Amino acid sequence: GAGVSQSPSNKVTEKGKDVELRCDPISGHTALYWYRQSLGQGLEFLIYFQGNSAPDKSGLPSDRFSAERTGGSVSTLTIQRTQQEDSAVYLCATRQLNLSSYNEQFFGPGTRLTVL
Amino acid sequence: RKEVEQDPGPFNVPEGATVAFNCTYSNSASQSFFWYRQDCRKEPKLLMSVYSSGNEDGRFTAQLNRASQYISLLIRDSKLSDSATYLCVVNKLGYQKVTFGTGTKLQVIP
């Protein structure tokens, strides 16, 4: 497809389990962002990739969270030993990088994570 | 002080009304500005970019005031379908990370 895709769309897991969330960017978009949004709250920045490197991972809440990106394309966000407070919608967005600073971010539909 | 601040609302307005939102930003090096719209349980989508000269798209007008460090969004002739959360987005000069405000909720009532 032409848009950003994320999988799974919904994930229910038990406390203490690890989960892996996937983002497939728009082809050619070198910048990739992960955000988290709890119910009724704003977007919380987690990490940003430029190509395969992550110049800014300042938003990762704890060392249980990690992310990687391979081939400048697919990215995975891994949460180890999930806690109930990790329950949220995890959104991925991608953006084309060029001289213009007005390139918009395109968001995927998100993964709704529920930790029981 | 937050990098980007918005009044969370909700703004409850009747159909046909004109409503305006402001968003303030703290970093004077901010370079590009956007308004995104987020419907309930959906992902954010770009509504419009905000240029220095201001811009208009149908019923929507966006303005930038660099001196006072705020951007605004004006919606004329509000429709029920305008009900959503409006997110202010700011991008710093030379930096690819963008900062989202927490959003202003608009509810247009019949």
A1 against A21, higher pLDDT: A21
pLDDT at res. B76: 98
pLDDT at res. A41: 87
The tokens describing B20, both together, are 């305006």
A103 against B63, higher pLDDT: B63
Q: Which residues contact A45 (CB under 8 A, 6 or more apart)?
A: A33, A35, A58, A59, B97, B99, B100
Picking from A105, A78, A101, the residue whose alpha carbon sits closest to that of residue A92 is A105
pLDDT at res. B93: 64
As a whole number, mean pLDDT of residues B54-73 equals: 94
pLDDT interval class at B18 (50, 70, 90): very high
Residue from A41, A43, A58 whose CB has the most chain B CBs within 10 Å, to mutate: A43
pLDDT at res. A7: 97
Shortest CA gap A95–chain B (Å): 9
Pairing of strands B104-109, B84-92: antiparallel
pLDDT at res. B92: 77
Q: Are A33 and A40 in contact (CB under 8 A)?
A: no
Phi, psi of B50 (to 5 degrees): -120, 110
User: Is B100 part of the contact surface with chain A (CB cutoff 8 Å)?
Assistant: yes
Query: Distance (Å, rounded) from C-alpha A60 to C-alpha B106?
Result: 30
pLDDT at res. B70: 93
Shortest CA gap B16–chain A (Å): 27
Those residues of chain A whose CB sits closer than 8 Å to some CB in chain B are: 31, 33, 35, 41-43, 45, 48, 50, 55-56, 91, 95, 97, 101-102, 104-105, 107-110
Query: Distance (Å, rounded) from C-alpha B90 to C-alpha B106?
Result: 20
pLDDT interval class at B77 (50, 70, 90): very high
Tell whether the model's pLDDT for residue B27 goes beyond 90: no
